[in-house]
Every structure is written in C-alpha cells, then in structure tokens.
Amino acid sequence: MWGTPETARSRKTCHRPAPEEIMDIRGKTVLVAGGTSGLGEGVARHFSARGANVVIVGRRGAVAARIAADLGVNALGIGADIGDAEAVAAVVAATLDRFGTIDVNVNTAGILAPVVLVTEAGRPSDTTVLTRLVSTNLIGTFNVMSHAAAVMLGNDPDEDGERGVIINTSSVAAHEATTGLIGYAATKAAIEGMTLPAAREFAGRGIRVNTIVPGGFDTPMVDDYVDEDTKAEGVKQFLNPRRLGTPDEFAAFAAHIVENRYFNAASPRLDAGYRMPP
C-alpha cells in the first residue's frame, strides 16, 4: 500500500486472490552446493525428508555418494570443486539427466581460513589464502547460481510466475568480523552484495534470490576453527537461546524461504541475536 494514511483510507481497497497454497517442496529438485557436511548436509536431509529430490555436491565425492545412498533413490551425490565452472556444468548436466530440472539451489559451500593484512614479522601478507577463499566462497557460489539459474529460466512458471529459488549463505562475519577474518568477511559480504542485483536481474522472470546470514552454528567448520572454551565464551553473547544453532534450524529457515513466495531480495540474519565481539 502506498501514499499517506489519509489517501490510503480514501482509496477503495483492491484485493487480488492469493495463490491457493505455498510452494510445495515435494517433488521439487534441490541442488545443494556444500551438501557433504554442516549446514549443507542439514539442508539436504531436511529437504529430502520433505519429499524433494536432492543433489548433494561437495569436494568429497565419496561422502556425497554416501549421504545420497543414505537418503535413498531420490538423492544424488556428486563430487566437484565449485570454483571450477566446468565442474559445475558437469554437476548440472548430471542433475538434469537424473531429475530433469532444478527448482531450488541452496549454496552453503565455503571455507574458513585466517587472513591478516600484515604478518607477525611485519611484512605484507601474500594473497594465497585470500585467493582460495575467493575461489570457493565467492566464485564458487557465483558459478552454481549462474548454472542453476540458466536451468530455472526454462522451467514452467507457477500461478505466481515463479520458476525457481536461489538461497545463498553469508555470515555475521560479513558485518562484524573479528581480527583475522578479513578475507572470510570480504567473501561473505560479497555474497550478500550479489543478492539484490541478482534478484533484480530475474525480476519478472520468475527466480527469487535470498541470502541467509547465520551466526554461530554447530558445524565441523566451526569445530575446526574454534576451540571449546572459545565456543563456551561465545555463546554468552547470544541473546536467546544461548547455544549454537543446529543445521536443521538453518534448513528449516531455508525451507520457509522456498515456501514463502513473497520472500525475495533479502539477507535475513539467523543468529539468536548474536553480534560478534571484537
């Protein structure tokens, strides 16, 4: 509704019938990049339990295949480095061969590694680690978005004109990263920066694009980077609940974004009110 409260009240309200139901996940094909552990595995398992076809993509092909076998005939596991556009194209080709299309793309693949501007010896840092972060977190996400969207544009639209949904994963580090996370923060901020222009690119063409901004979640990546004492101290910064989030909570939020067809071009936080301290 637009205009002042007075003009709004004076206008005759026009009601457009809403779609009969939210988007049905059952039978949809969901491509999950980073699906071999953590948030991505949680997404794959959650969507599979909701009746979707799931394609699990990760560097560890054997793990992807094992998870797919555990989920059953409506799951496919593929090993790939998403930083390689040709590898992503092969993943999409295998997905189309198995399931015929892609309806939803959830990108959780990412790596976490420390980067500083100046070393302890007082020398400028090289860009080796930064390049690796950019290749996986940013270029990898871009590659999967691009290839998935090209398929979605060929899908038949529903009554709202929708053809597909893309969900990316940022981090609270994009907003308040601590020392040593400059490279990781830069890549995650860039992913959020892609959200609105991507959604605008597909305006009127039926693809929604959103980015979830998670806080502290109980994942192997966090285990590798943060010791137990630091975790225990960190959860004191959470408002409610004071614990790490679970991959299933992330997955449930992703499912809500898919189902709620009015959710677009947004980067909502999922963090229990957490703000990363310096």
Catalytic residues: 184
Burial 91-110 (b: 16+ CB within 10 A, else e): bbeebeeebebbbbbbbbbb
Mapping DSSP to helix (H, G, I), strand (E, B) and coil, where does residue 260 land?
coil
Contact assessment for residue 19 and residue 261, using Cβ atoms and an 8 Å cutoff: yes
Nearest to 142 by CA among 77, 194, 208, 213: 194
Contact assessment for residue 244 and residue 147, using Cβ atoms and an 8 Å cutoff: no
Question: Hey, CA dihedral for 191, 133, 222, 242, is it positive or negative?
Answer: negative
In 202-263, alpha helices (H) = 220-225, 228-234, 247-259
Question: Which residue do the tokens 């939020």 mark?
Answer: 253
Contact assessment for residue 86 and residue 14, using Cβ atoms and an 8 Å cutoff: no
Contact assessment for residue 107 and residue 169, using Cβ atoms and an 8 Å cutoff: yes
Tokens for 227, please give them.
């010791």
Nearest to 82 by CA among 10, 30, 132, 119: 132
Contact assessment for residue 107 and residue 141, using Cβ atoms and an 8 Å cutoff: yes
31 vs 46: CA distance, rounded Å: 13
Q: Specify the amino acid at residue 37.
A: S
